[in-house]
Structure 1
């Protein structure tokens, strides 16, 4: 990978950082960690091991301020890191969402005690987190959530249900939104709570997906007691705190890593004879598609860099986060579709089927990406935010 591949000029300090990342990858990223064998348990073991190695090298959360275990990385260094990880086909850390979303939110809104307790445990993966925002009747309209919490002394007593919760099947912690003032307007009276997942009164039920896997879950809370000290930010002002998390989620630093990796896989598939052409990258249509994807990925890199710079300053991502979310999800979906085109009939075969393209991962990616334009806020919601906040258009009635 050359400097031209990053899309920006590198200062001497950036080259030193790039070389550090490359040396780390050469030493730490073994063939076993690149493997996709071993099913779900094997994948989780690889993710946990990989985060441990990143943490030992001081690379688990490079955009965090140094006083909280990060590197205060510049936007360019974040671009370098993402590009090198994608190029090497490195796995994701097991605490990906906590590193990219919850950690910056705690840095911004947490007390000194919360920062000193939770942040090191996120980096070490001693605590693995899941997000409890969505509910059966509160998906895109998150402010209509009904999970309630009653204050009882120095505790909250939580009752309700969350749904579409990733990682709940193996996480031990959850950050969730609860309604602590039912008389307040919808966006008020909500609190942001950090809680143990393995306590009495919580039941986790897996949700089977179109792929046959169960990556999502629904969670039921039956009079679950949580210390009042677990409230992040001001009581009843959790909507403001959640907007920070949603901004970090929509920018999706980790999604930039993933989408760069998907582009590298597509480029490799296109270089070989495929269902669309025997001429590889000399085929005009194939080359045109990859150039379009490359331009869109580069745009995402730049948006991610701006968000990283804001995060280092302790500022929440603004409405540009919706641009990143919209572009990421729709490009991700389009790239999965193109992978199916390149693979031809073999691309429709799932893992375990003889002759399946990329061991069935082409079909699995295609099916997974059907939901890309729904998760973390639908494309319709993102277009409304962009129209109102960036273009100044009137609110959608």
Structure 2
């Protein structure tokens, strides 16, 4: 990649950082490493992700945007853009603790006590603790303020009872960060606390949820009088709504990072260059070439928007409403590209892995089904449009 590929001018320091990242990827991503071995099975995949995060951590590349004193590199927005682009170009896997690195870690840095930072942050970076998020409930998805999971104070502990759902990675995580209602008399947003809990705590049960893909990436989490130390509250007691808003902002920035969508574009380009279900002319077909140019333009625009949204997190600030714009565009583009992959594949695109003739070994069908959730994970498109309308455009709230 050249400077022009990043869309920004690189300083000597930026080029040195880029060269360091490239050298690391060249040495780490070899044909005989676990990260490049094509294996199936959840256990092997998790081992690869944990191994990869260990390599990133050893190279001080696991969380480059974190402040140096907490194990990061105080990277600039441009350096974060370089890192994302180089990871995408190398098709490097994601670390197992991606959500904790991108969401929980910055929240702990912003809101945690010195003791909480000293304890949790190194364990996030090393993947000694793998985390999941416990925000959504059966009747509290986008409207998190209506959550019903309750926590009563008993001495120096909280006693938590309730249910969470759509909890990604809970089946193999060690810990969970969750929202609970600690003051039932307060206004909905004023009686919530943000709690860090060990999933091995008695009274916590994880039940996988089977998805349309056949996999179980999501889970239900049941809490039945689970006792968690009061010292595990992150931020002020009853003041967890403001802490959660920080996490959600970081989450939307993380959702908008473009390495995954750039990979999808590369795959689509390869498919469109060949005779396909839409045309025998491949790129010479006007409709196919027009669609691919539109996708390429949208990915480039998204890269620029995502870089701006990332900048706040890099500076140690909560991302603003720009994160909602980046998340909205990412999820809808992700979904549109998955749909077009199905169009290019034709009937073979709907065949799952293991079926004779399945397009891309079933990955086209898998991607299409996964992307059904893109427009409501991390906040629905409707919620993002409301945030953009009210906080960016200054439009009045819905009555």
1:259: Cα distance to partner?
1.2
CA distance in 1: counterparts of 2:115 and 2:256, whole angstroms: 27
1:351: Cα distance to partner?
1.1
**Residue 144 of structure 2: aligned partner:** 142
**Residue 113 of structure 2: aligned partner:** 111
Where structure 2 has 5 or more consecutive residues not aligned to the other structure, the ranges are none
CA distance in 2: counterparts of 1:264 and 1:35, whole angstroms: 20
**Residue 326 of structure 1: aligned partner:** 328
SS at match of 1:158: strand
Residues 18-29 of structure 1: pairs in structure 2 closer than 5 A: 18-29=18-29
1:286: Cα distance to partner?
2.1
CA distance in 2: counterparts of 1:182 and 1:41, whole angstroms: 41
CA distance in 1: counterparts of 2:285 and 2:18, whole angstroms: 33
SS at match of 1:149: strand
What do you get for the CA RMSD once the two structures are aligned?
A: 1.3
Deviates more, 1:343-352 or 1:33-42: 33-42
The superposition leaves residues 302-361 of structure 1 with CA deviations (integer Å, 9 ceiling, x where unpaired) of 232223321232210111111011111100100111111122221111111122111111
Q: Work out which of the residue numbers 310, 313, 328 in structure 1 matches 2:312.
A: 310
CA distance in 2: counterparts of 1:283 and 1:155, whole angstroms: 65
Contact 2:203 2:223 in 1 (8 A): yes
Alpha carbons of 1:255 and 1:309: their partners in 2 closer, same or farther (altered >3 Å)? closer
Q: Work out which of the residue numbers 364, 367, 373 in structure 2 matches 1:365.
A: 367
**Residue 126 of structure 2: aligned partner:** 124
Contact 1:96 1:254 in 2 (8 A): no
The superposition leaves residues 361-395 of structure 1 with CA deviations (integer Å, 9 ceiling, x where unpaired) of 11000001001111111111111111111111111
**Residue 267 of structure 2: aligned partner:** 265
Contact 2:258 2:306 in 1 (8 A): yes
CA distance in 2: counterparts of 1:224 and 1:261, whole angstroms: 42
CA distance in 2: counterparts of 1:62 and 1:311, whole angstroms: 11
SS at match of 1:104: helix
**TM-score of the two chains, using structure 1 as the length reference:** 0.97
CA distance in 1: counterparts of 2:359 and 2:192, whole angstroms: 47
SS at match of 1:221: strand
CA distance in 1: counterparts of 2:302 and 2:117, whole angstroms: 29
Contact 1:87 1:264 in 2 (8 A): no
SS at match of 1:218: strand
Alignment: residue pair count: 397
CA distance in 2: counterparts of 1:104 and 1:306, whole angstroms: 17
1:36: Cα distance to partner?
4.1
SS at match of 1:187: helix
Q: Work out which of the residue numbers 380, 384, 390 in structure 1 matches 2:386.
A: 384
Residues 31-42 of structure 1: pairs in structure 2 closer than 5 A: 31=31, 32-42=34-44
1:111: Cα distance to partner?
0.8
**Residue 101 of structure 2: aligned partner:** 99
**Residue 239 of structure 1: aligned partner:** 241
The superposition leaves residues 1-30 of structure 1 with CA deviations (integer Å, 9 ceiling, x where unpaired) of 222221112111111111111111111013
The superposition leaves residues 229-276 of structure 1 with CA deviations (integer Å, 9 ceiling, x where unpaired) of 100011101000000000111122674221121112212222233222
**Residue 12 of structure 1: aligned partner:** 12
CA distance in 1: counterparts of 2:136 and 2:23, whole angstroms: 41
Please state if 1:57 is matched with 2:55.
Answer: no
Q: Work out which of the residue numbers 268, 274, 277 in structure 2 matches 1:275.
A: 277
**TM-score of the two chains, using structure 2 as the length reference:** 0.97
SS at match of 2:319: coil
Contact 1:132 1:175 in 2 (8 A): yes
The superposition leaves residues 108-132 of structure 1 with CA deviations (integer Å, 9 ceiling, x where unpaired) of 1111111111111101000000000
Deviates more, 1:142-151 or 1:78-87: 78-87
